[in-house]
Every structure is written in structure tokens, then in C-alpha cells.
């Protein structure tokens, strides 16, 4: 009960310290939210095979939340994925598994009142958790997770296309967050870390996602690439006799079709509430900043390295070794440094939730470990208003909302940093003679190289235009030299903020 008391105490502290003027993206500045159903694409699901004998094309639905009365025309977007064991509710023998789960509605509504656009997105389901062999369970699960990643990136492209065409949702395409709870956490972790198809094969355990020594469990010509597109020049991914012999899916059935081609699948930040990373080798320094919440005693998704266990009767069969938030955030902190942006000294540090997390997360910025949850519940933020008769579900909405207070309270200031939407930098400027920073050439036409003496290491660089908008960023450098590319930036004067362990320097850069 100590953890619950702490959560309520934090909520009271934050309320007591609030000022009269509410700040967008940190506080609920809107009182009403509107929602609408929409479809962000379609693709083929294997879930229909037991019924129809074939894959069928499935609309990919989402419920979009927006603040009523908002006049902002470029708003940050959260794409939110629910839990459910990659199986349909209530057949998953669980309490949750839809876009209208109580926790999804609660979190999406709160974020929309803070000024975000929030899309609670469905995704394709289907695998065989009760297969008699672990190999088949592992094979069908990695394919389910792979389809989830494809659908997540399809949703990102849908909103990027909308912003470039009809602009129905008025989002800022540079400020997109993928956010997942439970099973959705597996999707966001994989989406944040998988950059190449070969990552699926090059795992920390040799052969982990291989059916045979020469046959991967995910095969691009059949399953599509990590963005959900068939390899060129195909327009669809068709099952042939070879794949039929592996999966039993009928020859000629389709497994993937393209959606919103030509648009980027990139996003700026990820959040996972539970879930786990399929393999630690997927991590690299290209991933976006990651915020993680994890129950340390989660019996299904380990916080460190361990086996995924499926909460299905009768015997909770294990599936595959994964790395949870504890292990993932440790590697990010020690090796990849993509969360260093969360360490900036700014007004976001004046936050009770951030300070509470920093007291228990072992220096892993972006990580909030949850300790002592009721009955060691793996998803203490979840509750069922009308629980199914077949499952023992949490119905305590008060306690669940207390956890959501902490989740929102901790994530909001970190999102401010990652998206550059509301935090004021307060780091003291280094004495000019303390570190000699050289920028060459300056003025420049295409790129500049920033160099400091070898005894100093640049941790990150942010480039701002004349309006104060961040237009370039490099994090996790840990080097005395770095190159900043101009790309398609227009002619003008820019300000580079260079971060060191000792502080920050601001210098002017001219592109001509």
C-alpha cells in the first residue's frame, strides 16, 4: 500500500503547487473533448483463418480525441495502443483488449484536455498461444508483433498524409508520440527500436526468431517489410507453396498490402506501460526518446531479461525470452544515450513526479519503476467498469486513476523536452573561455562541423531557427566532434545549443 499512498501524495503535491495560469501540454487547459471514429488504413489479418479458412482484409480503426474549442493548427499527436495479448476480447480470457478500455478512454481524454490530439488505434490480432510446442508459439507471436509494428507505422503515415493533404486533424508531424500499454507496449518498444528487417534475425540469442537454421520466422516477401509494404515490385504479399508448408495459410492468400506510400513512418517519442522488447539487439542510438513504466514484479512481462508468459488458462505457457523496461532503460542509459534529452536542466525538473522517479530509477532517465502494486498487478492503471463474468478483473477505478495521475504527471514534462513544446531551458551558459568550441565553416552552405578539445565531450546539439523552433537535433553523441547537416533548411541565422556534462553553450550558425 506504500506505493498507492505515494501516488496519492504526489497528486496532492502537484495540485497544491499548481499556479492559477494553466499551461498547455502540462495541465488540462480544455474542459471538453470530442471524439470520432476513423479508419487509418487496412491490411490482411490471419485472425479469420479459423473461421473462413483464409486471410481477409481488415479496416484499421481508431477513435480520435480532440479538445473542444482549440484554435491551435499544429498540435502534437499521441497514437495509443491498447493491451489484449494480441487476441480479441473477450476470447483472450482477460479483462481488457479494445480501444474503449477504461484506461484508454481515461488517458486519451486527459491528454486531449491538455491540448494533444490522441488516436487510440486498433491493430491486427491473431497468434497461437496454446500451441503444443514453444517454437510454434514463438513463431506466431513474433509475426503478431511484426504486424503490430507495421500497423503502428501505417497509422503514423496516415496522419502525415492527412497533414499534407486535407489537414483534418491539424497535427504537427514533427511531434508524434507512440504510446502503448501492456501488449501495446510491445508494439511501441519494437516500433521505436526496429530500423531494419535484419534486426529480426540478428538477435542476442542465435536462432531466436528462426524456424530452421536457414528459415526466418518473418520473411519479407510474405510478411512485408517493417513498414507494412510489400517488397518492390510486388503490390501484395502472397502466400506460395513454401510458406504454406510452414504456416498452413492457403496458397494465394494475401498477408500485406501497402498503405499511404511515400510518407515517412518516423515519430519523435515512445512510451511503454509494461510490455517488453523482443530482443535487446534491436536497440541502437537511432531510436527516439523512450519513457517506460513497469511493475517490477510483473509476472507476465519481465522487467529485466526473462520469459514472456501468456495469462491464458490452463497453465500460462511461456513463449520467448525478452527484455523488459528495466533492462531496456539500463542499456539506453549506459550505451545509447537516446534519453539524455530528459536530463536537461529546465523548468520541467520542478515536477514532483520527475523527482520521485529519479529517486528510485537508478539514474535511468525516462524510467518510472512501480513497486508494491496491489496483488502485484501487472497493469495497475487498468480497470473494468463492467468486468466479464469469466475473468477476475480489477474494478477499483480510484486506485487505477491514481496510477494514471502518476503516468500523466511523469510523462507530460518529459514530452515537453522531447517535443520541445513547453519547457524553458534554465541551464547556465558556460564561461566562454572554459571550452573552446570551433564551428567550421561558418557561414556554411551545406553542413558545419563542431569541434571541442578532446577532454570535453558533446552530449547533444539542438539547432533553433530565428522563431525559436527547434529544426535539428543530435543526441547521445558523447564525442568531441560532430557534423550538423543543413538539409533543406532555408538561408538564415540559427542558434546551436551544445550540451556538455558541464553545462550548455549557445552559438550562432549562418547558412547561406
Q: What is the pLDDT of residues 421-454, one digit of tens each?
A: 876 544 444 554 468 889 999 989 999 999 999 8
Q: Is residue 424 part of a domain?
A: no
Asked if 347 and 198 sit in the same domain, the reply is yes
Number of alpha carbons in the 13 Å side-chain half-sphere of residue 476: 16
Question: Which domain does 30 fall in, by range?
Answer: 2-419
- Looking at 302-435, list the stretches that DSSP marks H as alpha helix, in order from N- to C-terminal side: 325-331, 352-358, 397-419
Number of alpha carbons in the 13 Å side-chain half-sphere of residue 197: 19
Asked if 363 and 269 sit in the same domain, the reply is yes
What is the torsional sign of CA 409, 410, 411, 414? positive
* Cell representation of residue 23: 499551461
Confirm if 449 and 482 have CB atoms less than 8 A apart: yes
Q: Is residue 240 part of a domain?
A: yes
Asked if 406 and 449 sit in the same domain, the reply is no
Distance between CA atoms of residues 426 and 347, nearest Å: 7
The mean pLDDT value for 504-509 works out to 83
Asked if 162 and 224 sit in the same domain, the reply is yes
Q: What pLDDT was estimated at residue 92?
A: 82
Q: Is residue 445 part of a domain?
A: yes
Nearest alpha-carbon partner for 92 in 275, 311, 299: 311
Cα-to-chain-centroid distance, residue 276? 12
Q: If you average pLDDT over each of 1-10, 15-24, 183-192, 496-505, which comes out highest?
A: 183-192
Q: Which pLDDT band, with edges at 50, 70 and 90, does 314 fall under?
A: low
Asked if 179 and 302 sit in the same domain, the reply is yes
Residue that is last in its domain, among 392, 419, 446: 419
Distance between CA atoms of residues 458 and 464, nearest Å: 17
Residue whose grid cell is 487498468: 382
3-class state of residue 498 by DSSP: strand
Read off the pLDDT of residues 346-372 as tens digits, 9 standing for 90 and up. Answer: 656 567 898 889 999 999 999 999 988
Residue that is last in its domain, among 419, 454, 485: 419
Instruction: Report whether pLDDT(267) > 70.
Output: yes
Read off the pLDDT of residues 224-249 as tens digits, 9 standing for 90 and up. Answer: 999 999 988 889 999 999 999 989 99
> What is the reported pTM?
0.81
Q: Which pLDDT band, with edges at 50, 70 and 90, does 9 fall under?
A: very low
Q: Is residue 430 part of a domain?
A: no
Task: Quote the strand ranges of 310-372, DSSP E.
Answer: 318-323, 367-370
Q: What percentage of the chain reaches a pLDDT higher than 70? A: 91
Distance between CA atoms of residues 139 and 135, nearest Å: 6
Counting the structural domains of the chain, the total is 2
Number of alpha carbons in the 13 Å side-chain half-sphere of residue 309: 13
CATH number at residue 235: 3.40.50.1820
Confirm if 380 and 403 have CB atoms less than 8 A apart: yes
Asked if 415 and 445 sit in the same domain, the reply is no
Q: What pLDDT was estimated at residue 8?
A: 47
Asked if 446 and 406 sit in the same domain, the reply is no
Q: Is residue 93 part of a domain?
A: yes
Asked if 160 and 217 sit in the same domain, the reply is yes
Q: Is residue 425 part of a domain?
A: no
Q: Is residue 197 part of a domain?
A: yes
Q: Is residue 501 part of a domain?
A: yes
Asked if 212 and 249 sit in the same domain, the reply is yes
Asked if 76 and 32 sit in the same domain, the reply is yes
Confirm if 238 and 203 have CB atoms less than 8 A apart: no
- Give the DSSP letter of residue 353: H
DSSP symbols for 444-490: BSSEEEEE--TTS-EEEEEEE-TTS-EEEEEEEEEESEEEEE-TTPP
Asked if 350 and 206 sit in the same domain, the reply is yes
CATH number at residue 499: 2.60.40.3080
**CA angle 391–393–394, rounded 5-degree value:** 175
Residue that is last in its domain, among 384, 419, 454: 419
Asked if 443 and 329 sit in the same domain, the reply is no
Read off the pLDDT of residues 19-50 as tens digits, 9 standing for 90 and up. Answer: 335 789 999 999 999 999 999 999 999 999 99
pLDDT, greater one: 432 or 394: 394
Instruction: Report whether pLDDT(194) > 90.
Output: yes
Q: What pLDDT was estimated at residue 234?
A: 85
Q: What pLDDT was estimated at residue 493?
A: 81
Q: What is the chain's mean pLDDT, rounded?
A: 89
Amino acid at each position: 500500500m506504500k506505493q498507492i499512498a505515494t501516488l496519492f501524495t504526489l497528486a496532492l503535491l502537484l495540485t497544491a503547487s499548481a499556479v492559477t495560469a494553466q499551461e498547455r501540454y502540462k495541465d488540462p487547459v480544455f474542459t471538453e473533448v470530442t471524439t470520432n471514429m476513423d479508419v487509418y488504413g487496412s491490411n490482411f489479418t490471419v485472425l479469420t483463418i479459423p473461421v473462413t479458412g483464409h486471410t481477409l482484409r481488415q479496416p484499421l480503426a481508431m477513435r480520435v480525441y480532440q479538445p473542444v474549442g482549440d484554435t491551435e493548427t499544429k498540435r502534437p499527436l499521441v497514437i495509443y495502443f491498447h493491451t489484449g495479448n494480441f487476441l480479441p476480447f473477450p476470447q483472450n480470457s482477460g479483462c481488457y483488449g479494445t480501444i474503449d478500455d477504461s484506461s484508454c478512454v481515461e488517458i486519451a481524454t486527459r491528454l486531449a484536455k491538455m491540448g494533444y490530439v490522441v488516436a487510440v488505434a486498433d491493430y491486427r490480432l491473431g497468434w497461437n498461444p496454446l500451441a503444443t510446442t514453444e517454437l510454434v508459439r514463438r513463431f506466431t507471436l513474433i509475426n503478431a508483433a511484426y504486424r503490430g509494428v507495421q500497423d503502428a507505422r501505417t497509422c503514423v503515415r496516415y496522419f502525415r498524409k492527412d497533414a499534407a493533404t486535407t489537414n483534418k486533424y491539424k497535427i504537427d508531424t514533427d511531434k508524434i508520440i507512440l504510446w502503448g500499454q501492456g501488449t501495446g507496449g510491445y508494439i511501441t518498444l519494437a516500433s521505436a527500436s526496429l530500423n531494419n528487417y535484419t534486426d529480426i534475425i540478428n538477435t542476442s540469442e542465435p536462432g531466436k526468431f528462426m524456424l530452421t537454421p536457414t528459415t526466418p520466422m518473418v520473411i519479407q516477401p510474405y510478411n512485408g517489410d517493417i513498414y507494412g509494404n510489400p517488397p518492390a515490385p510486388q503490390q501484395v504479399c502472397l502466400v506460395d507453396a513454401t510458406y504454406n508448408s510452414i504456416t498452413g495459410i492457403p496458397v494465394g492468400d494475401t498477408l500485406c498490402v501497402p498503405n499511404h506510400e511515400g510518407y515517412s513512418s518516423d515519430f519523435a517519442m515512445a512510451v511503454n506501460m509494461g510490455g517488453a522488447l523482443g530482443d535487446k539487439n534491436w536497440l541502437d542510438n537511432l531510436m527516439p526518446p523512450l519513457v517506460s513504466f513497469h511493475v517490477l514484479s510483473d509476472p507476465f512481462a519481465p522487467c529485466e531479461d526473462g520469459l514472456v508468459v501468456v495469462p491464458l488458462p490452463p497453465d500460462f505457457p511461456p513463449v520467448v525470452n525478452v527484455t523488459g523496461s528495466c533492462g531496456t532503460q539500463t542499456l539506453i542509459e549506459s550505451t545509447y544515450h537516446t534519453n539524455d534529452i530528459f536530463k536537461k536542466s529546465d523548468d520541467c525538473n520542478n515536477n514532483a513526479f520527475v523527482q520521485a522517479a529519479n529517486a528510485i530509477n537508478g539514474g535511468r532517465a525516462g524510467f518510472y519503476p512501480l513497486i508494491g502494486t496491489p496483488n502485484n498487478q501487472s497493469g495497475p492503471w487498468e480497470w473494468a467498469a463492467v468486468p466479464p463474468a469469466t475473468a477476475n478483473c480489477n474494478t477499483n477505478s480510484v486506485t487505477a486513476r491514481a496510477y494514471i495521475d502518476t503516468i500523466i504527471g511523469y510523462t507530460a514534462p518529459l514530452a515537453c523536452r522531447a517535443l520541445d513544446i513547453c519547457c524553458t531551458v534554465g541551464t547556465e551558459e558556460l564561461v566562454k573561455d572554459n571550452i573552446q568550441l570551433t564551428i567550421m565553416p561558418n557561414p556554411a552552405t551545406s553542413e558545419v562541423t563542431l569541434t571541442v578539445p578532446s577532454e570535453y565531450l558533446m552530449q547533444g546539439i539542438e539547432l533553433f531557427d530565428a522563431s525559436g523552433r527547434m529544426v535539428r537535433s543530435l543526441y547521445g553523441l558523447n564525442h568531441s566532434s560532430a557534423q550538423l547537416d543543413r538539409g533543406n533548411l532555408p538561408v538564415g541565422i540559427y542558434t546551436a545549443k551544445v550540451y556538455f556534462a558541464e553545462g550548455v553553450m549557445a552559438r550562432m550558425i549562418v547558412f547561406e
